[in-house]
Each structure stands twice: as structure tokens, then as C-alpha cells.
Chains A and B, each alone.
Chain A
Amino acid sequence: MVRPLGFLVGLGFITALVLAIFTTPLKNEPNVAYAFHKHPKHLKLASDGIVLPHWDKAQLQRGMQVYKEVCSACHSLNLVAFRNIADLGYTEGQTKTFAKGFQVPSINPDTGEPATRDGLPSDYFPSPYANETAARAANNNALPPDLSLITKAREGGKDYVYSLLTGYQNPPANLPAELKPGTGLHYNPYFANLNLAMAPPLTAGQVTYADGTKASVDQMAKDVTAFLVWTAEPKLIKRIQVGYAVFFFLLIFTVLTYLSYRNIWADKKH
């Protein structure tokens, strides 16, 4: 009974699928934007890969400077606390001073009115806007995303962030009219639909690096991307280091289990 019924059910599905094949057009709708879209450029960082990756602390410090002086005007960094920047090689005193440079939301202890106070190491980077509505109002109705996880939250990761920051250009002459950037939009072939609301954020010499590194657009983009790789996963390097220890421990364990397996089975043909 199962077999004849199964046969009929199978024929039903197969008929529906054969009809689906013959009624589905074999040509795709042409996607014009796709032809202009570019794949992200590769960005090599010290924290890449699994062969002795490490944080380039000087670069992360420069990247944080770029975030603080440029990106933080519009983008929040909600998941990072000031205390976390100890990872970048800052001392406790430097961290406290750095935190003090920010005003964080608070309440007036006497009146209960909203107020601000100096940041403490336990505070998180404050948002540039009070809420989403304020952020949209200030940005032509676009919402600048939080950057804490940005290098993990986009296909292409750090390569994408770096490419986007350095990818602004004039629209190509053969770009169809419907793909041309509208008011308040900027052409960038690394962005999914080619035009994004963020204006080119970096200009050469925009920040003055304490270590004397020349602040070209490319350099600042690399540095801030490296910083955002750290904010997305502060435990990245530790993860790989622990991974090696666990892997080699298990490798020895596995060799021993293999030897004991061979030993136990030595007298049995199987």
C-alpha cells in the first residue's frame, strides 16, 4: 500500500515541478546596477589569518583617533566601553583621561533633571544623537549605523569597510539615469545599490597623527578599519592563541586514543 501511494505522491510532485520548469523563464531580469558594482579590495591587517596574528596597537590607536575625530560625529559605538581601550596599549591613567574627554548622559543629583557629566572608564562611547529620530533628522532621513560590529555585520567584512571608505568617485559617464545619485546621495561602486547617503567622510590631512604618520585618505581608512576589526571582536587574538593550545592538546589526545585503539584491536581481524 505504501509503495503505490508513494508512487502517486511522487508523480504529483514531479508533475508540479516539470510544469514549473516549463513556465519559469530561463533568462534572468537584467540587473543593470550589478554591472557597475565592484567587489571589495583586499585589506591586509596584522590581525588577519591564523599564523601569529596580533593587534598593531599603533594602528589601532590611530584608528581610534579617526573614529573619534571623524566618524563619531554621526556614528555610535554602543558596545565599546572606555575601559576596553586598555587593549590598545593605553595605561589606566590615559584611559581615565580619555574617558573624561567625553560628556555622557546623566541626571542632575539635586534636581533630577537630565544632565551630562564627565565620562568614566566604565562608561560606553556616547551616541552622537539622542535617538533614532534625531539621527535621521540630521542625516537626510538616513540612519548612520552603529559601528561596533560593522566589520562582522557586512559581507566582505573589513575589506568592504575599507573599500567603501576609499571608493567614492564620480559616477561613470555610461551610468543609466535611474542609477545616478539623487539629492544627498553619493556614488560608490562598493555599496550594494551604488548610491549611499554618507558623504565621503575622509579628506587628506583631516587628522594629525601623534606618531607622525601621514594622514592620507588611504591611511586613515586602513587605520579606522583596523580599529573597527578590534571593536567587532576584541577577543579575536586571544581566541586564536587559545585555539592553538586547545588544538595541540587535542592532537596529542587523539594520537593517544588512536594508539590505544590499535593496541586493543591488535589481536582482532576486522
Chain B
Amino acid sequence: MSFPWAKPYEPTHPLMKWMDEKLPIPRLVYNATGPGYPVPRNLNYFWNFGVLAGAALMIQIITGIVLAMHYAANVGVAFNSVEHIMRDVNAGWFIRYAHMNGASMFFIVVYLHIFRGLYYGSYKAPREMVWLLGVVIFLLMMATAFMGYVLPWGQMSFWGAQVITGFFSAIPIVGEPVREWLLGGFVPDNATLNRFFSLHYLLPFVILGVIILHIWALHIPGSSNPTGIEVKDEQDTVPFHPYYTAKDGFGVGVFLLVFVGLTFFSPNMLGHADNYIPANSLSTPAHIVPEWYFLPFYAILKAFTFNFLWIDAKLWGVIAMFASIALLFFLPWLDSSPIKSSNYRPLYRIFFWILVADVLLLGWCGMQPAEQPWVILSQLGAIYYFAHFLVILPIVSRIERPLPMPNSITEAVLAKHAPDVKSVSATA
């Protein structure tokens, strides 16, 4: 599971020896995140976001458990129970705002984590399973966040639930029965709120389980690194502790500063005013918009406005939206280039940055009403999104000529620190 030079766990204290014989949890921790886990020495700050995502999940679980002590999942009182938390519960306003903005922080760090993986080819062999489990976590996060947003039972909660479950009704024949089965009724109501609360409490622990698998799968080959060259010998690595625990500690500090800034100074910036209006099934908000982290996918959904072949526009949109995430499962096989890091992929690198701009554009379009120029921009954005993964990437990975690469991680590191970078000959 690890490199031969990994420091072995050798307990000295009798209690730790006793523990190691009965239940070797200290050994597990030592080998997973301690001195016993050798990690490439050249990781940059983009490798902080895995730990930050874990921190964000823990913040969500802790604040969420406290909120559940005061929240009531009943359509008659749910809205007011949230306001009771905001007004009467000791520090309730803090716990609730932290949970609300913690969800946004979780998505921010996970999106950076995903784009790190895309840029540095972290999804490639031998780490395909790490990537696949990551996509599963992303899907679970989206489901959890969606159901959590329904719980305050404001206008956007209700109409969000109405729109999102409405996707299923686009499926021919079985769609409408499936939607009613999911909602437990014809429209979102008490049955919906109760089951969403139950699942919203359950899914974070499922996420936690999949994260353990994600980290387990990562520890088989070990962490990737910015050069994409696999670890060759001991000098390529440093022990996780203290080197990366210290760096992650600093990362957590910066993360918390941003999180605290958002939570205390602008807690409603990423929310919607409409969600401070109690849910009303008879009054539709002028613009139903999902939370910011769903906007690119929402734009893809809305981009399909034409009944093509025997499939109507709405079903095209729903299929495309699910496909836009599902295609990530196939990414390790869509990209056949053996070179992982985009630092050595001059052509792919250009398309990567176009993809980043494209997803930001889609996000912006997702926020806008169904008017021009937003419709055509989201259509162009969606074209690029699918073209990038399904057409451009497979072709680019065939025709691209990679840049010369260093022989090892250590060589790359030393070249960076050499007085004249060019003097160290780099050969592929």
C-alpha cells in the first residue's frame, strides 16, 4: 500500500503497544496521515483542497446536528423554527449562517479540487478509482445540498423542489409516477419535507463513508503531484506529517478566514431574498433560480429549446444536465494521453482554460432570466462543454506533442531552484 521507505509504526509506550495489538487505530492513522505516509515533495497549494473539503464536511455535520436539535420538519412550523433558531437559540444565528455558508464553502473547495484534478490529470491511471469515487461524492453533495435548501420551507425551497423533482416528469410514461413517488404527493408538501429532512441527515454520513473509500483508493498509488511523474525513490517524497499537516494547517487557516468573512459579514450574499418568504404553493416567484453551485448545470438544462428527433426540448435538457455530470465518470478513458500534468500538455492546457471560462459563463447564464443574449450564450456554452469532453479531449490527447519532461520529481524541484532554470537539461 505504501512505498518501501515509508517509516514503520513502532509504538514505544506500553499503552500504545497494547492498543496496537488489540485495535491498531493509531497504526492506521500513522500510516494514512502521519509520518508513515510518504507524499511527493512538490505539491502546490492546489493540493490543499482535499483536506479543506473534509474540513468543510465536518463543519457541515457539526453545525447540522446542532440545527437539527432546534429545527422542526413540518410545513406548518419549519419556516418559523428556522427564524426561532435565528432569534431565540443561543448563537443560533451563527450556527445557521455557518451551515448556510458552509455549504457554499464546501462547493467552492470541491470545485477547485475537481479543476485541480482536471488540470493535473489526477483522474488518470493509476488513480481512476479515486476520481470515480470523487464523482460519486460530488453527486451525493448535490443531492444533499438540494434537500437541505428545501428545509427552511421558503419560497425558493418550495419552488426549487417543484422544479427539480419536475425533471423526472420529463421522462415518458414513468416520469410522472416517479415524481409523485419521490415527493409523496402531487406537489411538495409535508411528506416531501419529512423525507428530505431524513435524507439530508443521512447523506452526509454516506458522503463520509465514500470519502474514506476515496482516501483509501488514493493511498494505494499515493498522491499525484504537479509534474504528473510518479514517485521513483525516497528523495521524491516527504512524510505527510509534519510536512503536509503543517501546510494543511495553514490552508485551513486561510479557508476559515474566508468562511468567517462570509458568515459574519455577508451571510446572505449567496442566498436568495425569496427564501425569506414562507413557501406558498399559490404564488410562483418571478425567477426561480437554484443555488449558485448548480447554476452551470441549470444553464445547460435551459439551453435546450428545440424538439430534436422524437425527444422534446425539456427531456433533452434533463438528459443533457445529467449527462454533463455523468460524463465525468468516463473521463479517465476519454483522455488517452499518458501525460498527466497540463504543464507538459501545451494544447490541452489551452482547452482546459477555455473550459474554466466556459463553466463560469454557464454559471452566469444560469442566473439570468430566459432572455437573449443569455439563451444563446448558454447554448454556445453548453456546446463547448460537451465538445470539450466528448470531442476535443479525445482528439487532442491523440495528436498532442507533449513538452519535454524532467526525469523525476526531484529533478523538477532542483531545476526550479537552480540559478538558471534552462541549464538543467530536461528530457522527456
Q: How far is the CB of B54 from chain A (nearest CB, A)?
A: 17
Q: How far is the CB of A228 from chain B (nearest CB, A)?
A: 12
CB within 8 Å of B: which A171-220 residues: 192
**Residue A17 lies at the interface, judged by CB distance under 8 Å to chain B:** yes
Q: How far is the CB of A150 from chain B (nearest CB, A)?
A: 8
Interface residues contributed by chain B, number (CB under 8 Å): 66
A149, B304: Cβ atoms under 8 Å?
no
Chain A residues contacting B260 (CB-CB under 8 Å) are 243, 246-247, 250
B303, A17: Cβ atoms under 8 Å?
yes
Q: How many angstroms between the C-alpha atoms of A67 and B304 in the bound complex?
A: 48
Chain A residues contacting B261 (CB-CB under 8 Å) are 243, 247
Q: How many angstroms between the C-alpha atoms of A69 and B254 in the bound complex?
A: 49
CB within 8 Å of A: which B257-292 residues: 257, 260-261, 263-265, 267-268, 273-274, 276-277, 286
Q: How far is the CB of A141 from chain B (nearest CB, A)?
A: 13
A11-B391, A243-B264, A269-B417 as given contacts; A2 in contact with B330, CB under 8 Å: yes
CB contacts between A and B, total, < 8 Å: 173
A19, B308: Cβ atoms under 8 Å?
yes
Q: How far is the CB of B44 from chain A (nearest CB, A)?
A: 9
B386, A24: Cβ atoms under 8 Å?
no
A11-B391, A243-B264 as given contacts; A264 in contact with B243, CB under 8 Å: yes
Residue of A17, A240, A254 touching B304 (CB-CB under 8 A): A17
Q: How far is the CB of A240 from chain B (nearest CB, A)?
A: 6
Chain A residues contacting B372 (CB-CB under 8 Å) are 24-28
Q: How many angstroms between the C-alpha atoms of A247 and B254 in the bound complex?
A: 11
B243, A235: Cβ atoms under 8 Å?
no
Q: How many angstroms between the C-alpha atoms of A264 and B379 in the bound complex?
A: 50
**Residue A97 lies at the interface, judged by CB distance under 8 Å to chain B:** no
A7, B249: Cβ atoms under 8 Å?
no
Chain B residues contacting A25 (CB-CB under 8 Å) are 372
B304, A235: Cβ atoms under 8 Å?
no
Partner-contacting stretch, out of B64-72, B86-94, B171-179, B350-358: B86-94
Chain B residues contacting A153 (CB-CB under 8 Å) are 273-274, 276-277
Q: How many angstroms between the C-alpha atoms of A193 and B262 in the bound complex?
A: 33
Chain B residues contacting A7 (CB-CB under 8 Å) are 390-391, 394
Q: How far is the CB of A44 from chain B (nearest CB, A)?
A: 18
Q: How many angstroms between the C-alpha atoms of A16 and B394 in the bound complex?
A: 21
B308, A15: Cβ atoms under 8 Å?
yes
Q: How many angstroms between the C-alpha atoms of A26 and B375 in the bound complex?
A: 9
A3-B333, A7-B394 as given contacts; A16 in contact with B380, CB under 8 Å: no
Chain A residues contacting B42 (CB-CB under 8 Å) are 270
Convert A62-103 into 0s and 1s, putting 1 for each residue whose CB lies closer than 8 angstroms to a CB of B: 000000000000000011000010000000000000000000
Chain B residues contacting A253 (CB-CB under 8 Å) are 253, 256
Q: How many angstroms between the C-alpha atoms of A270 and B45 in the bound complex?
A: 12
A20, B313: Cβ atoms under 8 Å?
yes
Chain B residues contacting A14 (CB-CB under 8 Å) are 383, 386-387, 391
Residue of B253, B264, B394 touching A254 (CB-CB under 8 A): B253
**Residue B181 lies at the interface, judged by CB distance under 8 Å to chain A:** no
A149, B323: Cβ atoms under 8 Å?
no
Name, among B97, B305, B416, the residue most crowded by chain A CB atoms within 10 Å (CB to CB).
B305
A235-B87, A243-B265 as given contacts; A251 in contact with B308, CB under 8 Å: no
A11-B391, A17-B379, A235-B86 as given contacts; A152 in contact with B253, CB under 8 Å: no
A20, B306: Cβ atoms under 8 Å?
yes
Residue of A2, A78, A239 touching B333 (CB-CB under 8 A): A2
Chain B residues contacting A265 (CB-CB under 8 Å) are 243, 246-247
B380, A254: Cβ atoms under 8 Å?
no
**Residue A260 lies at the interface, judged by CB distance under 8 Å to chain B:** yes
Q: How many angstroms between the C-alpha atoms of A233 and B376 in the bound complex?
A: 40
Chain A residues contacting B247 (CB-CB under 8 Å) are 261, 265
Question: Measuring CB to CB, which residues of chain B are less than 8 angstroms from any residue of chain A?
Answer: 41-43, 80, 83, 86-87, 93-94, 97, 238, 242-243, 246-247, 249-250, 252-254, 256-257, 260-261, 263-265, 267-268, 273-274, 276-277, 286, 303-306, 308, 313, 316, 320, 323, 327, 330, 333-334, 336, 371-372, 375-376, 379-380, 382-383, 386-387, 389-391, 394, 413-414, 416-417
Q: Which 5 A-B pairs have the closest CB atoms?
A: A243-B264, A10-B390, A254-B253, A153-B276, A20-B306
Q: List 6 A-B contacts (CB under 8 A).
A: A13-B320, A153-B277, A251-B257, A254-B254, A257-B250, A265-B243
Question: Measuring CB to CB, which residues of chain A are less than 8 angstroms from any residue of chain B?
Answer: 2-3, 6-7, 9-11, 13-21, 23-28, 50, 78-79, 84, 145, 148-149, 152-155, 157, 192, 232-235, 238-240, 242-244, 246-247, 250-251, 253-254, 257-258, 260-261, 264-265, 268-270
Extra inter-chain contacts (5) besides given A268-B243, A269-B417, CB under 8 Å: A6-B389, A13-B316, A247-B264, A254-B256, A265-B246
